[in-house]
């Protein structure tokens, strides 16, 4: 009899072509997603007179530099977008460009288009490729050299990571989201807490999440140091996929369901690490520092570096200096200058619905930008009246793209300004040089917009469904 296997082990074995003496494996790649930043890899192919090995498995997306607001597009940004267009055309790659109704952030449109499917190995030159693991896919980001290797061979060399299972049991409380769950475990384990591991999320609280919640959870795996995140596919997964553009149809769909039903960890499968979390312990959470691990419940106060140990003390002091915060300050007393709702973490229709449920009938006290995760999400939000709620509240409704998450397209937070953001990173300068970012759920961002300071969204949701 064979030993019980984890879901990760099954996926790795299904894609392993060979293993070198040093233990590094050559894996076959099922989907390769490229964006404007992939031009170096295409240039390398051109310099060697090579073509993309599997153009039917390669998909181009304009997202990182996509302009989301009216106005002139900077010459360097236009050049990046045009270069991707030329490379896609030259190699016969399907491109979701700015004029395509399917355009959007790569980690939003992959699932949305049915390109992301259980059991696949998916790569992209972006660290948050782990998002796609929500479908039970082996998905991780790669560097520029690896992008070129995949384009040329449709394979990748990779050292096998260790495994970790994070089990979250119980029910999440009112207004507590997958974003709060992710920030909770990252704060508990640290930004390096899962380094070198493939995480499988399990437990009743994870099973209760929608696909959009699972996507958020897997997206943030990287912020805890993990190589990737996984959720075993189930009926929630299958219902989401069915009927999407690139999803299997007819008899192929029936066969796919049979194949996908085996994509789960066997009973008794051993993980290198096991982490248990009680969902009842998770509250609406915000970050106070310059790392996603600097996160606490909104009811807490800014920590005193003196209470921390070792290198954490100096890190906290530097973070508080950059963030212009004082130890002991209540988090819900921190004023913000602006808000942002969007990104591959929280720019999906469910995220916008939650934010709109807080903003409905209210006015924002600070300016803000809402950038949907895709053109399809934008249209749906407009059809449902969500966009009207945002604009009536005083927020700006933009086009889809990475936008203020990375500040590559002109959407930036000015130096010294404080932003309540639904994005994934609060590093120094992430949203603009000198910008101060507080990470939180879209609902919490909406609450901050209404009050002008970090706020417990549960207060604003009292009496609302």
pLDDT value of residue 74: 85
CB of 304 within 8 A of CB of 365?
no
Answer yes or no: do 261 and 354 share one domain. no
Answer yes or no: do 74 and 106 share one domain. yes
As a whole number of angstroms, the distance between CA 378 and CA 373 comes to 8
For residue 370, tell me if it sits in a domain: yes
For residue 115, tell me if it sits in a domain: yes
Q: How many residues does the chain have?
A: 465
Answer yes or no: do 256 and 393 share one domain. no
CB of 457 within 8 A of CB of 443?
yes
- The alpha helices in 386-452, defined as continuous H runs, are 386-393, 442-451
For residue 168, tell me if it sits in a domain: no
Report the 10 Å Cβ neighbour count for 250: 7
pLDDT value of residue 465: 61
As a whole number of angstroms, the distance between CA 210 and CA 272 comes to 27
Answer yes or no: do 289 and 233 share one domain. no
Answer yes or no: do 18 and 144 share one domain. yes
State the pTM of this model.
0.97
pLDDT value of residue 1: 62
For residue 207, tell me if it sits in a domain: no
CATH number of 441's domain: 3.30.499.10
Domain membership of residue 36 as a residue range:
7-161+226-265
pLDDT value of residue 21: 95
Answer yes or no: do 247 and 355 share one domain. no
For residue 178, tell me if it sits in a domain: no
CB of 30 within 8 A of CB of 121?
yes
Answer yes or no: do 261 and 304 share one domain. no
CB of 129 within 8 A of CB of 135?
no
For residue 276, tell me if it sits in a domain: no
pLDDT value of residue 2: 83
For residue 190, tell me if it sits in a domain: no
For residue 185, tell me if it sits in a domain: no
Answer yes or no: do 126 and 11 share one domain. yes
pLDDT value of residue 119: 98
* Structural domains in the chain (count): 2
Low-confidence ranges of the chain (pLDDT < 70): 1, 464-465
As a whole number of angstroms, the distance between CA 428 and CA 413 comes to 12
């Amino acid at each position: 009899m064979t030993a019980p296997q984890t879901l990760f082990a099954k996926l790795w074995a299904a894609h392993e072509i060979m293993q070198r003496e040093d233990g590094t494996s050559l894996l076959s790649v099922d989907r390769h997603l490229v964006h404007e930043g992939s031009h170096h890899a295409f240039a390398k192919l051109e310099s060697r007179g090579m073509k993309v090995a599997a153009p039917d498995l390669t998909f181009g997306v304009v997202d990182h530099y996509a302009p989301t607001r009216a106005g002139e597009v900077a010459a360097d940004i236009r050049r990046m977008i045009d270069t991707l267009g030329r490379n896609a055309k030259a190699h016969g790659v399907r491109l979701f460009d700015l004029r395509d109704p399917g355009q959007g952030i790569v980690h939003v449109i992959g699932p949305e288009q049915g390109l992301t499917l259980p059991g696949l190995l998916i790569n992209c030159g972006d660290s948050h490729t782990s998002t796609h693991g929500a479908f039970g896919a082996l998905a991780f980001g790669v560097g520029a050299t690896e992008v070129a290797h995949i384009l040329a061979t449709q394979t990748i060399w990779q050292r096998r990571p260790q495994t970790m299972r994070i089990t979250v049991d119980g029910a999440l409380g009112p207004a507590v989201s997958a974003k709060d769950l992710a920030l909770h475990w990252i704060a508990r384990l640290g930004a390096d807490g899962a380094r070198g591991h493939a995480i499988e999320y399990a437990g009743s609280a994870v099973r209760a999440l929608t696909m959009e919640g699972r996507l958020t959870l897997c997206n943030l795996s990287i912020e805890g140091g993990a190589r990737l995140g996984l959720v075993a596919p189930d009926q929630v997964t299958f219902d989401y996929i069915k009927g999407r553009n690139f999803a299997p149809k007819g008899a192929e769909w029936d066969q796919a369901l049979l194949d996908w039903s085996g994509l789960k960890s066997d009973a008794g499968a051993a993980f290198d690490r096991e982490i248990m979390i009680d969902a009842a312990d998770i509250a609406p959470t915000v970050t106070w520092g310059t790392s996603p691990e600097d996160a606490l419940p909104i009811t807490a106060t800014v920590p005193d570096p003196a209470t921390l140990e070792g290198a954490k003390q100096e890190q906290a002091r530097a973070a508080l200096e950059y963030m212009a915060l004082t130890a002991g300050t209540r988090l819900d007393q921190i004023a913000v200058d602006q808000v942002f709702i969007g990104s591959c973490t929280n720019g999906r229709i469910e995220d916008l619905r939650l934010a709109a449920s807080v903003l409905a009938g209210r006015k924002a006290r600070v300016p803000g930008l809402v950038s949907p995760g895709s053109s399809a999400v934008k249209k749906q939000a407009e059809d449902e009246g969500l966009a009207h709620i945002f604009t009536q509240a005083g927020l700006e409704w933009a086009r889809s793209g990475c936008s203020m998450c990375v500040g590559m397209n002109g959407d930036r937070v000015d130096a010294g300004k404080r932003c309540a953001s639904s994005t994934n990173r609060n590093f120094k300068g992430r949203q603009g040089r000198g910008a101060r970012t507080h990470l939180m759920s879209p609902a919490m961002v909406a609450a901050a917009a209404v009050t002008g300071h970090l706020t417990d969204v549960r207060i604003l949701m009292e009496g609302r469904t």
